A and B are shown apart, each in its own frame.
Chain A
Amino acid sequence: MIGVFVLKESLIIHWRGVWLWLSILCFLMPLSRGQTPTPTPTREEQIEAARDAKEKAVASSDTRRFEQKLLDLENNRWVQLVNGAEGFHVRVGGMRGVGSGFSLGPAYQRSDLWGERLTFSTSARASLHHWYQGDMQLAMPKLWQERASVELNLQYSNLGGLGYYGQGPDSRKEDRTSYGFEEARVDFRPALHVTRRLSAGGVGGFRAINVGAARSGSYPSSEQLFNATTAPGLFQQGDLWTAGGFAKYDNRDSAGHPTSGGQYRVQYTRSSDGDSRRYGFDQTDLLVQHFIPFFNHKRVIALQGVSTLTSAHSDQVVPFYLQPTVGGPNYLRGFQAYRFTGNNIVAFNAEYRWEAASFLEMALFADAGKVFQRQSQWNIHGMERSYGFGFRFKMQNTPIFRIDTGFSREGFQIWLRSGSSF
């Protein structure tokens, strides 16, 4: 019986539950059809409610991830030293010669002296291969209503191991040697700017040079393989006085990254080592560059021809360390740096450049060049050739550094250099 009672009680409870739910349902049905007992907010009230919620959670504006750290970094004195161009800063790279390895050092520059008429810059750098260089430049680029300029350059360089393979086009790759080169020089360069494009001027200077055993690199030192005949000036150097002049026409659209126009320059200098009369010579440098743009300057055919012709004074020679060379990052890029040395050179570069992105320019290039002992051999016969491709990384439309890979009969070379090829 007890069990039956309980059962009946539960039945009653459940029936009550059903009625309860049905009652709630009947009550709520009209509400769910929109007859809300409380007033519907307006759109403006919704906006105000959102403002209420925001006001309760109000906080100072967040600086984005890492942004504050970057701001701090940019304002850091030491970072400004590395980034700056004016005042004290750190100069990276730009050492003379090929093979120094990574270099850096302190630098100081002022472009605002004497009412911005005088600029002064100086730097000292050391490289991983223990090469050293110090420079100082005083320049007045805007004299006489910018129709004249004058520059004074002082430089000391101590280059631990420059390459030398012997004289002429038949030198052997296997004969690679190195020599140490130390020089202190002063150059003075006044110029008249006849027009904005055309300028001419003089050059004069003094060079004190010392050549010795290489201090870096794994190649034999030059004196182990060459002598005073095959490397004139190897054992005895002299001080040189230089004087000459130049003329230049430059209608390139940009000096740092030209895409149209051209540059045409000729320079003549006469060098003399005074009373010793061993190393006096005349030198003529010719440079022709021309840039042919197409497709809105996004494609450029860049052409360059260079020639350096030297002529030793009677009974004198051009020392090997001042002879022009081909091979390296600028001419004949498929050959090692300084691969060919001679009294004269002629070299040509042709590049097809195309801008792949704002930050990247590509290039296909072909180089040709040769060295020759007599100026009568100035022709295009017997030229060495190389070809290759390059990546030029740009910032603000100016190449910052390039990676050029050149191929030749002697294999391939990869060059990492700052700036443009030409």
Chain B
Amino acid sequence: MASQRLLFLTAGAAALTTAWLVAAEPSLPRFLADDPIWREPPPRSIPSAKKQVVDALYDFYENSFYATRRAYVESAGSASEDGVSAAAQNVNTVGGVPDSPWYVNRHGMHPMTNQELARGPGDSHPPTPDAPWKVIAAKQDGVSPGFLVEDGKGDRYLLKFDPPDYPELASAADVIVSKILYAAGYNTPENYVVYFPEEQLQIDAGSTWKNSRGGREKLTKAVIERMLRHQPKDDQQRYRALASRFIPGEILGPFLYEGLRGDDPNDVVRHQFRRDLRGLRVFAAWTNHTDAKSINTLDSFVQEGGRSFIRHYLIDFGSSLGSDSLRPKDPRLGHEYFLETKPAGMQIITLGLYVPLWARADAPKYTGVGQFEAESFVPQEWKPNYPNPAFLMMDQDDAFWAAKQVARFDDDQIRAMVATGQYTDPRAADWVTKTLIERRDKIADAYLTLPIDAFRVENGELKFDSLLPARPVRPENCQIRWSTYDNVARSSKALTGSFGWSSAEAFAASGGAGFLEAQIDCPPQTPSVSVFLRRRGDAGEVAGVERRW
């Protein structure tokens, strides 16, 4: 009997110890020594990258019928739709997105001046007017022509024209939104509104154009004249167009909003788990960029600083604001997918007597504005033309990340970016500015439910910024509770005593703890936020932020 007891005792001790060790083992510390990082390590150099083709019809079909949030979570091996595993992955410990070939922190981190915002990705390389532009190729898209031209410096541009019945519509939208998205941190092409006389265009030897049968023919002056015959001219007999400078590097084709590029070792986070792409939904909603799909993206193989790697761009914003490229935007766009059965069923059943708000909202008929308004805009319900995998995956943290950047654009800054669209009617610029401001405010109301951020330690105290001047949050309106934090076990233990916002006092009372957690509640807002401080000096430094919704 004794031997049996000893046998059980030994086996029990072994099992207990093993279980304890297994339970304790996983863990890398939550906060690593270099957290939070704001820049990914430089991209790894790769010798080459393959071109990628995305079929527009297939992209529409795949995403309209198969793209669901659940499917993407499950495809990533996650157990729960709402679990932690559905969270974005290219995120630092304070909820930010480190700089990478996908995204660069700009206005959201270091406020840009109005001049910088208007400059966007660049304003020093417009096609030079002092020498003719050689037309390399041309195409006709409906009644709107498009030219590939090379200016006197040898820079190449795509010249895109507005629909003749709706001057300034697409060119203004394309330029304005390229500036906004650039300031937000995305890579966008240099876009310019240009005015030029017909003589500016010179046919290059060997130039071709794509005829209506899809064939290529030699480009002649007569063809260019025909293509331009419907285009309006200003009082100086000049055409207006959008000149989009060629993106540097070797063009590889679009990227997908899901999965990974197989041939890029730097591409380690599935795209639907990238916060920059998920949060793009908020920027797209703000600017009504309903055509945010793979076809309107571009990967470019670039060489910089002795490295060759892939940089990822967003392109073609002609279907944003009130424009749908070839016509004003259908008011339904932004509110419903092309294929959506539920609202269609509602319309059929009610014989159209149910009238959604977007069908009642109006926009003025100013030149170049199209259908752009804020009255019917509900940020959480905004939709692109068809489901976008990354947008489907956006959660509250992604939305907060994007919304706080949207809120960073003040009224003057928005006006400065709208001015780059060069509307000839000042009422058009005013309306677009006003609408962007109203949509910005709706986004802030929707997603910035506890609008505090930029946590830091100053003079021994934990500080934060209130994100919305209209709804200021002050420390005296909030409660703060201090705990010691076990960085490996990831557990907190409340500190006794009252330290207010003084992290120095909290650290002093912590018995030598390496980390503290400060839980902040600001009633009546229901979300709370925990700020994690790493011991550094007497008062510590911010190592991470966690929001609870």
Q: What is A's interface to B at a CB cutoff of 8 Å?
A: 7, 10-11, 14-15, 17-18, 21-22, 24-25, 28, 32-34, 40-44, 46-48, 50-55, 58-67, 70-71, 74, 80, 84-87, 110-112, 115-116, 295-296, 298-299, 352, 354-360, 362, 364, 397
Contacts and interface: CB of A to CB of B under 8 A. Distances in A.
A302 to B, nearest CB: 13
Interface string B347-371: 1100110010011111000000001
A62 B14 CA distance: 48
Given A18-B6, A42-B32, A70-B57, A87 B213 contact: yes
27 contacts: A10-B3, A11-B6, A14-B10, A43-B32, A48-B41, A50-B268, A51-B44, A51-B268, A54-B266, A58-B262, A65-B62, A67-B55, A71-B58, A86-B214, A112-B212, A112-B213, A115-B226, A296-B358, A296-B371, A299-B355, A354-B347, A355-B347, A355-B352, A356-B343, A356-B348, A358-B330, A397-B330
Contacts of B340: 357
B424 interface: no
Contacts of B347: 354-357, 362
Residue of A22, A352, A358 with most partner-chain B CB within 10 A: A358
A48 B41 CA distance: 7
A357 B343 contact: yes
Given A40-B28, A67-B58, A80-B214, 7 more contacts: A14-B9, A58-B265, A86-B212, A110-B213, A112-B211, A296-B358, A358-B332
A43 to B, nearest CB: 5
Nearest to B50: A60
A24 B18 CA distance: 10
Interface string B211-232: 1111100000011001000000
A51 B260 CA distance: 12
B55 A34 contact: no
A50 B14 CA distance: 35
A51 B340 CA distance: 39
Contacts of B28: 40-41
A44 B39 CA distance: 9
A57 B62 CA distance: 26
Contact of B336 (A59, A63, A115, A358): A358
Contacts of A59: 262-263
Contacts of A32: 20-21, 24-25
Interface of B: 2-3, 6-7, 9-10, 13-14, 17, 20-21, 24-25, 28-29, 32-35, 37, 40-41, 44, 50, 52-55, 57-58, 62, 92, 211-215, 222-223, 226, 256, 259-268, 330-332, 336, 338-341, 343-344, 347-348, 351-352, 355, 358-362, 371, 486-488
A28 B16 CA distance: 13
Residue of A22, A80, A356, A357 with most partner-chain B CB within 10 A: A357
Contacts of B17: 21, 24-25, 28
Contacts of B40: 44, 47
Nearest to A46: B32
Nearest to A21: B13
B9 A60 contact: no
B288 to A, nearest CB: 15
Contact of B10 (A18, A34, A70, A295): A18
B544 to A, nearest CB: 11
Contacts of A87: 213-215
Contacts of B343: 356-357
A261 to B, nearest CB: 14
Nearest to B13: A21
A401 to B, nearest CB: 17
Given A62-B262, A67-B55, A364-B351, A11 B2 contact: yes
A115 B266 contact: no
A47 B268 contact: yes
B253 to A, nearest CB: 9
Q: Nearest 3 pairs between A and B by C-beta?
A: A354-B352, A356-B347, A357-B344
A193 B92 CA distance: 66
A111 B55 contact: no
B55 A74 contact: yes
Contacts of B53: 63, 71
B389 to A, nearest CB: 11
Contacts of B362: 296
Nearest to B211: A112
Contacts of B33: 40, 42
Nearest to B345: A356
Given A14-B7, A15-B6, A70 B355 contact: no
A66 B330 CA distance: 31
A58 to B, nearest CB: 6
Contacts of B222: 115
A61 B261 contact: yes
B58 A66 contact: yes
B34 A42 contact: yes
Contacts of A58: 262-265
Given A74-B55, A116-B226, A358-B332, A28 B29 contact: no
Contact of A295 (B359, B486, B488): B359
A110 B214 CA distance: 12
Contacts of A356: 343-344, 347-348, 352
A59 B3 CA distance: 59
Contacts of B212: 85-86, 111-112
Nearest to A64: B62
B89 to A, nearest CB: 10
B7 to A, nearest CB: 6
B268 A44 contact: no
B41 A358 contact: no
B35 A43 contact: yes
Given A357-B344, A358-B338, A51 B10 contact: no
Contacts of A116: 226
Given A40-B33, A51-B265, A116-B226, A296 B360 contact: yes
B344 A61 contact: no
B338 A362 contact: no
A241 to B, nearest CB: 36
A146 B211 CA distance: 21
Contacts of B34: 42-44
Nearest to A358: B338
A54 B268 contact: yes
A34 B262 contact: no
A166 B127 CA distance: 72
Given A354-B352, A357-B343, A61 B21 contact: no
Contacts of B2: 11
Nearest to A116: B226
Given A15-B6, A58-B265, A59-B263, A71 B55 contact: yes
B359 A17 contact: no
Nearest to A297: B331
Contacts of B264: 54, 58
Contact of B339 (A80, A298, A354, A357): A357
Contacts of B336: 357-358
Nearest to B268: A50
A54 B266 CA distance: 8
A17 to B, nearest CB: 4
A86 B215 CA distance: 10
Contacts of B330: 358, 397
B281 to A, nearest CB: 20
A406 to B, nearest CB: 17
A409 to B, nearest CB: 24
B488 to A, nearest CB: 4
A296 B359 contact: yes
B35 to A, nearest CB: 6
A8 to B, nearest CB: 9
A160 to B, nearest CB: 34
B32 A362 contact: no
A360 B344 contact: yes
Contacts of A22: 13
A131 B14 CA distance: 89
A315 B362 CA distance: 61
